[in-house]
């Protein structure tokens, strides 16, 4: 195996991980290792007992399909599981399903593919004839019972439990509305069959107590990658594909990657896409990276919007323009529509995984937001110039927050002089005397801001400590920095009104940026808020 890992890849799969060979998938699988380990451990424990059924929930691009495929190989290679279980893979969308019999026959087809790929052709003898006999049966009950019986007999012949790795399980269950209770009964009692499914949205059948699969699956939520995971993925891909310039970029300009990760919500698919674009040429900055990513995603995102009804498109666009989590009533007001009409469309968008529900602070109401955050960014960047400016300014602000700065001696002296005077005077509660020095510090030309930025943050830390938040916000407005440094201004506003609870009402990208600021200028307040969550 070691020599396989030493061979470089020719490329990476962005939208279809099934294109990867087993060796390639194992090589590039980094981001979801902890989730894989938990699933494998659970399957080992359940291998000698009645199985627990599992469901992975995550927005599009969060790595569900890749994790399912990786789990299949983990079962195959594990000393315990390989002797007791067999993982079966399916097409991402099983469009042919109309009845439960169709689903069981799809399982038989998947098993037949496994026999063929493993060259166990003796197990295929008579299988096509048996399938044809079942399909010719006249009643749905007979087809369902015989198809399940065939699947169980094949499991007995193998002496293996069949672990069904079902992507888009929500679509399968939607097609089995009238037979969901029958499916639950089988899964509850048949030890030879276990499901590990994936879905882009929480199953209605899971959270409604009157539905067949209420509280049935053990749910695993896939969220965005953290900073360390993102860098691990990019380093591994750079090493495997021989792109040393990307490894060098990660060391020299980590802020560029951190900014993109935050803007994309840590979406693994976007991280892999970023790698592919950097492999083509790593020159540029955060703004150009975002523009290239958005351009690459345009056909994919346009197709998703155009597949929706006209009314759903309008609701989705209004929600994207709102950016932050919004209630159905807020979207209805913006669109001049009745709340019921908007709620109906939002529920459909939640069901297909495009939109997700989030809890709003200090209220029992739910808010709605675009589930895949880079999709929301794409919508915003195609809107008005004013909206595009907000995103560009956010990207530039993140560059300042993350970017390393090497100051010349002259710049160090000048920055230190301004920063020290402003800080000393603020600490002595002499705002009026501090103000002109602070004004020169905050009004530094853009080309110098990266050098001054650590001092600027230290200044605002003193401002918060000594209670000059309102005065500082007024100075930002005077210098035309409030909009350009929106996360900083929002952080100050939350502190000014003692309202860190409202962080939960911000767009995820803005919330993360504001929390970065708070960690620098008001760490105690942020820590207390986090502890109370």
- Does some domain include residue 321? no
Q: What pLDDT, in 10s, does the model give residues 437-484?
A: 888 888 888 887 887 888 889 889 999 999 999 999 999 999 999 999
- Does some domain include residue 415? yes
Task: Please give the pLDDT value at position 125.
Answer: 83
- Does some domain include residue 449? yes
- Does some domain include residue 74? yes
Looking at 221, 251, 283, which one is the last position of a domain? 221
- Does some domain include residue 446? yes
**Percent of the chain topping pLDDT 70:** 92
CATH number for the domain including 186? Answer: 3.40.50.300
Burial label for 365, CB within 10 Å (0-12, 13-18, 19+), is: exposed
Looking at 169, 199, 221, which one is the last position of a domain? 221
Q: Range with the lowest mean pLDDT among 122-131, 477-486, 507-516?
A: 122-131
Q: What pLDDT, in 10s, does the model give residues 264-301?
A: 999 999 999 999 989 888 788 888 889 999 999 999 99
Mean pLDDT over 369-384 rounds to 92
Residue 204, pLDDT > 90, answer no
**Percent of the chain topping pLDDT 90:** 62
3-class secondary-structure state, position 335 = helix
How many domains would you assign to the chain?
2
- Does some domain include residue 205? yes
**Cα 391–chain centre separation:** 19
161 phi, psi to nearest 5 deg: -75, 140
Looking at 163, 196, 221, which one is the last position of a domain? 221
- Does some domain include residue 323? no
Query: Residues near 503 by Cβ (< 8 Å), separated by ≥ 6?
Result: 361, 494, 511, 514, 515, 529
- Does some domain include residue 379? no
Q: Are strands 366-370 and 355-359 parallel, antiparallel or unpaired?
A: antiparallel
Residue 312, pLDDT > 90, answer yes
For residue 349, give the nearest of 374, 381, 380, 372 by alpha carbon: 372
**Do 372 and 265 meet the contact criterion of CB atoms below 8 Å apart?**
yes
CA 160 to CA 155: how far, in whole Å? 6
Task: Please give the pLDDT value at position 4.
Answer: 38
Residue 62, pLDDT > 60, answer yes
Q: Which domain holds residue 130?
A: 32-221
Q: What pLDDT, in 10s, does the model give residues 223-278?
A: 999 999 999 999 999 998 889 999 999 998 899 999 999 999 999 999 999 999 89
């Amino acid at each position: 195996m070691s020599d396989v890992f030493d061979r470089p890849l020719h490329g990476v799969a962005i939208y279809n991980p099934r294109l990867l060979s087993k060796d390639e998938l194992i090589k590039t699988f980094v981001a979801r290792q902890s989730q894989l380990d938990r699933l494998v451990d659970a399957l080992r424990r359940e291998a000698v007992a009645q199985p627990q059924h599992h469901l992975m929930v995550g927005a599009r691009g969060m790595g569900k399909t890749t994790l399912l495929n990786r789990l299949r190989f983990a079962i195959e290679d594990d000393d315990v599981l390989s002797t007791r279980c067999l993982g079966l893979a399916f097409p991402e969308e099983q469009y042919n399903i109309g009845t439960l019999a169709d689903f069981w026959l799809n399982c038989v087809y998947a098993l037949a593919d496994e026999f063929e790929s493993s060259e166990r052709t003796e197990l295929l003898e008579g299988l096509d004839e048996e399938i044809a006999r079942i399909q010719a049966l006249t009643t749905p009950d007979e087809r369902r019972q015989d198809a399940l019986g065939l699947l169980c007999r094949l499991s007995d012949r193998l002496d293996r439990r069949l672990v069904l790795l079902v992507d888009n399980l929500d679509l399968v269950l939607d097609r089995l509305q009238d037979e969901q209770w029958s499916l639950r009964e089988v899964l509850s009692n048949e030890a030879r069959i276990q499901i590990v499914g994936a879905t882009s949205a929480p199953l209605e059948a899971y959270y409604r107590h009157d539905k067949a699969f209420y509280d049935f699956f053990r749910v695993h939520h896939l969220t965005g990658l953290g900073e360390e995971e993102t860098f691990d993925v990019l380093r591994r891909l750079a090493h495997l594909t021989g792109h040393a310039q990307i490894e060098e970029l990660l060391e020299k300009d980590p802020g560029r990657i951190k900014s993109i990760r935050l803007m994309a919500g840590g979406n693994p698919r976007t991280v892999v896409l970023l790698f592919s674009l950097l492999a083509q040429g790593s020159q540029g900055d955060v703004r150009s990276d975002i523009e290239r990513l958005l351009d690459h995603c345009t056909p994919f995102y346009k197709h998703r919007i155009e597949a929706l009804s006209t009314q759903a498109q309008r609701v989705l666009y209004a929600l994207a323009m709102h950016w932050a989590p919004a209630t159905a009533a807020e979207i209805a007001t913006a669109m001049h529509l009745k709340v019921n009409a908007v709620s109906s469309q939002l529920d459909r968008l939640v069901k297909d995984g495009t939109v997700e529900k989030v809890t709003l602070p200090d209220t029992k109401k739910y808010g709605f937001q675009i589930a895949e955050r880079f999709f929301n960014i794409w919508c915003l960047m195609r809107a008005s110039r004013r909206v595009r400016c907000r995103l560009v300014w956010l990207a530039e602000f993140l560059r300042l927050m993350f970017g390393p700065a090497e100051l010349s001696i002259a710049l160090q002296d000048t920055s230190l002089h301004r920063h020290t005077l402003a800080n000393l005077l603020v600490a002595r509660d002499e705002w009026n005397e501090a103000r002109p020095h602070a004004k020169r510090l905050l009004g530094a030309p853009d080309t110098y801001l990266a050098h001054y930025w650590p001092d600027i943050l230290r200044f605002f830390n003193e401002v918060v400590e000594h209670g000059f938040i309102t005065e500082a916000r007024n100075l930002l407005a005077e210098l035309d920095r409030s909009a350009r440094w929106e996360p900083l201004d929002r952080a100050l506003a939350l502190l000014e009104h003692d309202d860190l609870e409202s962080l939960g009402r911000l767009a995820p990208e803005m919330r993360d940026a504001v929390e970065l600021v708070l960690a620098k200028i008001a760490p105690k307040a942020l820590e207390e808020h986090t502890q109370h969550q």
